[in-house]
């Protein structure tokens, strides 16, 4: 009798499980009439598609050319090239600089970890700096300040990748409370 009850229970349990799993399955539906009409109507070209003029191009006169915006002869091949091209600060030399150069030179594993972490953020930072016309050396500042660790906190209570002090964070409208600290938010603090 027990075997019969166990078999019956297993039968109903398997049936219930199959029903539950079939309810979770995705069903492919036939395309609706609305999507057919959308596909049939022509759409405008995506914004990244270049638009070519109909007639011959006219030469640019000196009055139309901007003296401040000179296009580079070739596009930067990588992000590091973009950063180097945007350098605007003067080079500094001295005993302090040499001491820190030596410190970083003797720690290639530390540099490798920092570069790995920076891959998540550096493109966004360079984009923001170029958008604002700021020196791209500033993209390298988090290497020194926090090693690109958004959760870094200093003994002086500076926090985030950029190491904003609480008052500086307030000045830049970065919210700080028990639940949220925007100094640690990479997008907001950048």
Specify whether the CB–CB gap between 183 and 165 falls below 8 A.
no
* Nearest partner of 140 among 95, 185, 84, judged by Cα: 84
The structure tokens 């791209």 sit at 136
Specify whether the CB–CB gap between 142 and 160 falls below 8 A.
no
| pTM score of the predicted model | 0.57
The boundaries of the domain holding residue 139 are: 75-148
Q: What is the pLDDT of residue 25?
A: 55
For the chain, where are the alpha helices, taking DSSP H only?
2-24, 33-40, 79-85, 95-105, 108-118, 122-132, 141-145, 166-171, 186-189
- Tell whether 16 is covered by a domain: no
Same domain, 138 and 154: no
Q: How many folded domains does the chain comprise?
A: 2
Q: What is the pLDDT of residue 63?
A: 63
Same domain, 125 and 136: yes
The separation between CA 32 and the C-alpha centre of its own chain, rounded to angstroms, equals 37
Q: What is the pLDDT of residue 142?
A: 93
Of 35 and 90, more confident: 90
* Nearest partner of 165 among 156, 178, 173, 177, judged by Cα: 156
Same domain, 105 and 159: no
* Nearest partner of 165 among 178, 177, 180, 153, judged by Cα: 153
């Amino acid at each position: 009798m027990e075997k019969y009850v166990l078999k019956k229970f297993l039968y109903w349990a398997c049936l219930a499980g199959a029903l539950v799993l079939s309810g979770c399955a995705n069903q492919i539906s036939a395309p609706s009439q609305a999507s057919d009409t959308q596909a049939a109507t022509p759409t405008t070209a995506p914004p990244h598609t270049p638009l070519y003029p109909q007639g011959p191009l006219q030469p640019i006169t000196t009055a139309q050319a901007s003296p401040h915006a000179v296009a580079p002869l070739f596009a930067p091949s990588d992000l590091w090239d973009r950063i180097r091209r945007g350098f605007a600060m003067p080079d500094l030399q001295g005993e302090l600089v040499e001491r820190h150069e030596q410190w970083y030179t003797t720690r290639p594993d530390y540099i490798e970890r920092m570069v790995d972490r920076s891959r998540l953020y550096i493109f966004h930072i360079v984009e923001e700096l170029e958008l604002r016309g700021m020196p791209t050396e500033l993209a390298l500042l988090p290497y020194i300040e926090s090693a690109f660790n958004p959760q870094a906190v200093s003994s002086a209570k500076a926090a985030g990748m950029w190491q904003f002090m609480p008052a500086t964070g307030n000045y830049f409208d970065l919210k700080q409370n028990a639940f949220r600290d925007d100094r640690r938010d990479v997008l907001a603090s950048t």
